[in-house]
């Protein structure tokens, strides 16, 4: 009986890790934590981040050492479009709230990825609206590029088209560009049912959303919403009662 109680309580005390964790990927920190300064669009995560300041500075460069990825593979990407890809990078590199959607992978540059992260409707719609008149030659940007020069170029037998031709809807852009890393939803910001790429510093709404989905997926119990300090306090009370 004591063993079952201990197991349940320890599980409750540690189950929230999935709600505050970093991916095992190329540039992520091992554990999330505060950063003194994060650069520009990545700044909202400075209180609790999986990224370093240097990573966020590089995320704002047209072609950085992070992945040697060239946004301008079909001519210069407009600033209004590029800001969404910078925000996408900040979200991917910095967010500690992606745990419920992290999956193991066997890739040379990372051991984990995200899959089907539910994004708010407004984030996908604004991304598509601001990029629809820019150009690209590929639907899936995760793979299939010509890397012969060390940076990505359009592969042979492809040609540059407007984003709106490659991605006819906001849903197709959000879901296809990074091979289902994201899932388009009809949920709006503030609904508690979708993650926001954009939010004001100090007002991150995503922990509560991650908790909701983690409970739905059975990754944590409802009791874990107490948080680790409360769970550990409850464990102490239970043990004291058992041995009193």
Query: What does the alpha-carbon distance between residue 125 and residue 187 come to, in Å, rounded to a whole number?
Result: 12
Query: What does the alpha-carbon distance between residue 125 and residue 40 come to, in Å, rounded to a whole number?
Result: 22
- Residue 128 DSSP SS3: helix
Strands in the chain per DSSP E = 102-107, 110-114, 117-119, 135-136, 161-162, 182-184
- What band does 126 get if pLDDT is binned at 50, 70 and 90? very high
Instruction: Output the CA angle 145-118-115, nearest 5 degrees.
Output: 45
Given a cut of 80, whether residue 196 has pLDDT beyond it is yes
23-37, 86-100, 142-156, 193-207 — which is least confidently predicted? 23-37
Residues 48-68: tens digit of each pLDDT: 889 888 777 777 776 666 677
pLDDT number for residue 192: 94
229 exposure class (CB count in 10 Å sphere: 0-12, 13-18, 19+) = exposed
Q: At what angle do helices 79-94 and 121-131 cross, to 10 degrees?
A: 140
Residue 113 is given by DSSP the state E
82-96, 200-214, 223-237 — which is least confidently predicted? 223-237
Is the separation of the CB atoms in 94 and 161 below 8 Å?
no
């Amino acid at each position: 009986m004591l063993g079952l109680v201990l197991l349940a309580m320890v599980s409750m005390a540690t189950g929230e890790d999935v709600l505050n964790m970093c991916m095992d990927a190329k540039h992520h920190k091992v554990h999330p934590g505060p950063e003194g300064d994060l650069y520009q669009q990545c700044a909202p995560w400075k209180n609790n981040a999986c990224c370093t300041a240097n990573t966020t500075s590089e995320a704002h460069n047209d072609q950085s050492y992070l992945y040697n990825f060239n946004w301008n593979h079909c001519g210069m990407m407009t600033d209004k479009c590029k800001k969404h890809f910078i925000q996408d990078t900040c979200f991917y590199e910095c967010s500690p709230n992606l745990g419920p959607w992290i999956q193991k992978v066997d890739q040379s540059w990372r051991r984990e990825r995200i899959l089907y992260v539910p994004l708010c409707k407004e984030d996908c719609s604004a991304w598509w609206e601001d990029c629809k008149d820019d150009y690209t030659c590929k639907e899936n940007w995760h793979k299939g590029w010509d890397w012969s020069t060390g940076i990505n170029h359009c592969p042979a037998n492809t040609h540059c088209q407007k984003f709106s031709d490659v991605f006819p809807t906001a849903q197709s852009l959000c879901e296809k560009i990074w091979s289902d890393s994201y899932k388009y939803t009809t949920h709006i910001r503030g609904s508690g049912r979708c993650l926001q790429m954009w939010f004001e510093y100090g007002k991150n709404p995503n922990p509560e959303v991650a908790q909701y989905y983690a409970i739905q997926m059975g990754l944590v119990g409802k009791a874990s919403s107490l948080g680790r300090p409360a769970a550990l306090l409850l464990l102490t009370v239970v043990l004291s009662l058992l041995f009193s």
